């Protein structure tokens, strides 16, 4: 039981002693705990934001996509990204090493997306290939850049030995 006591008239002679007032604080403590409980139950906790990811069926065979519509994005070490158009055996464009800035991967995605859309009338397809030296935050940053750049079709694939060789040539593996 919580209570508050105050000192009375102590030290004065000749006056009659009064009893010290006692205030019962039990109701106030109960009210405080009820309010705390109410606000804990009534608040909405931050909900995790998730990005939808559709994975293909293992035995499905998609239609062939021309190399001119395919952009490969390989994640390297130290927040570096290498991208090129086409296939790793014979890339249509020279592999370029960029970062996750507005002038880096985002600019490349937007530029190439516009070029492919004008040339073929169909959207750009991006293949994301994380390496063993990349970190999870780079993977999430790349997916964020795809969303910002309005890339509708992308896939996550295992990195090949040719991609690793290209990353080593760029000094990003």
| pTM of the complete model | 0.63
* pLDDT score at 73: 92
- What pLDDT shows up at residue 91? 85
Domains of the chain as residue ranges with CATH:
67-170 (3.30.420)
List the one residue out of 51, 91, 50, 52 whose CA is nearest residue 74: 91
The pLDDT, as a whole number, for residue 7 is: 61
pLDDT in tens, the chain (173 residues): 566 666 655 555 666 777 777 888 888 899 999 999 998 888 877 777 776 666 666 665 556 678 888 999 999 888 889 999 988 888 888 888 898 888 888 999 999 999 999 998 889 999 999 988 889 998 999 999 999 888 888 888 888 889 888 888 888 77
* Residue 13: predicted pLDDT: 60
């Amino acid at each position: 039981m919580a209570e508050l006591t105050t000192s009375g008239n102590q030290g004065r002679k000749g006056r009659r002693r009064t009893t010290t007032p006692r205030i019962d604080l039990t109701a106030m403590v109960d009210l405080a705990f009820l309010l705390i409980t109410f606000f804990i139950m009534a608040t909405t906790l931050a909900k995790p934001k998730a990005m939808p990811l559709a994975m293909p069926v293992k035995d499905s065979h998609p239609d062939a996509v021309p190399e001119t519509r395919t952009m490969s994005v390989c994640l390297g070490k130290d927040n570096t990204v290498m991208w090129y158009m086409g296939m790793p055996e014979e890339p249509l464009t020279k592999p370029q090493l960029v970062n996750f800035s507005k002038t880096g991967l985002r600019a490349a995605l937007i530029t190439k997306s516009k070029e492919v859309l004008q040339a073929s009338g169909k959207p750009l397809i991006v293949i994301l290939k994380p390496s063993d030296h990349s970190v999870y935050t780079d993977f999430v940053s790349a997916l964020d850049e795809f969303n910002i750049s309005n890339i509708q079709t992308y896939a996550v694939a295992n990195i090949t030995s040719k991609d690793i060789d290209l990353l080593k040539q760029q000094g990003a593996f």
